[in-house]
């Protein structure tokens, strides 16, 4: 996917997470949720910006099992901390970033080489050219699906009304 595509899909996925995570009961506290989702949004462009030196494009940085492994280990570290505290916040932010990187890799799948089995062996399942109409269709379809799922969620209304605290003016008029 193009950089623009990763930014758009990353922001759309972040909106979905903001709506869904409070209900998911993962142990993440509401006070750190915006930071974790922000790290997730950055993670969506992470793999393409961490290819240092002579590293080949879409090898180690796009190896999904590094991120899956890290998230699994990090979540285990959160258990004894009961998900709260400074260390837990730091770990949550790294988990958010890693989840963003995984989203990036999934979005790269229709565009060619991804190292599914070995980090240095990218495999092409299908290849959509960046300058094709199909590229735009794929990018915008992903964005649309993420936004529609977020907005169609009953949690979206709850999240919106709670954050707006619409009861305040009502209570002021009707104490």
In the bound state with Zn ion, the residue whose beta carbon lies nearer, of 27 and 110, is: 110
Show the site string, 47-86: x = touches Zn ion by CB under 5 A, - = not. Answer: xx--------------------------------------
Subset of residues 90 to 109 that bind Zn ion, contact rule: CB under 5 A:
108
Closest approach, Cβ 101 to Zn ion, in A, equals: 9
Closest approach, Cβ 56 to Zn ion, in A, equals: 12
Stretch of 43-51, 64-72, 121-129, 156-164 contacting Zn ion, by CB under 5 A: 43-51
Q: Is 73 buried (19+), middle (13-18) or exposed (0-12) by CB count in 10 A?
A: exposed
Size of the site for Zn ion (CB under 5 A): 3
Stretch of 8-16, 27-35, 40-48, 67-75 contacting Zn ion, by CB under 5 A: 40-48
Neighbours of 159 (CB within 10 A): 18
In the bound state with Zn ion, the residue whose beta carbon lies nearer, of 108 and 139, is: 108
DSSP string, 36-84: HHHHHHHHTTHHHH---TTPPTTSGGG-HHHHHHHHHHHHHHHHHHTT-
Compute CA distances 48 → 9, 33, 97, 121, whole Å. 15, 25, 13, 17
Neighbours of 5 (CB within 10 A): 22
Contact footprint for Zn ion (CB under 5 A): 47-48, 108
């Amino acid at each position: 996917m193009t950089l623009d595509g990763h930014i758009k899909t990353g922001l759309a996925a972040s909106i979905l997470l903001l709506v869904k995570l409070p209900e998911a009961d993962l142990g993440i506290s509401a006070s750190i949720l915006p930071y974790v989702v922000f790290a997730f949004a950055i993670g969506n462009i992470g793999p393409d910006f961490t290819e240092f030196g002579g590293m080949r494009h879409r090898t180690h940085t796009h190896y999904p099992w590094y991120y899956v492994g890290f998230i699994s280990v990090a979540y285990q570290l959160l258990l004894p901390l009961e998900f709260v505290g400074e260390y837990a916040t730091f770990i949550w932010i790294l988990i958010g970033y890693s989840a963003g990187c995984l989203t990036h890799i999934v979005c790269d799948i229709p565009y060619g080489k991804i190292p599914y089995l070995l980090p240095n062996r990218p495999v092409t399942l299908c290849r959509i050219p960046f300058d094709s109409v199909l590229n735009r269709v794929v990018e915008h379809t992903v964005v649309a699906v993420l936004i529609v799922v977020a907005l169609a969620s009953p949690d979206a209304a709850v999240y919106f009304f709670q954050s707006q605290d619409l009861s305040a003016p009502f209570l002021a008029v009707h104490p």
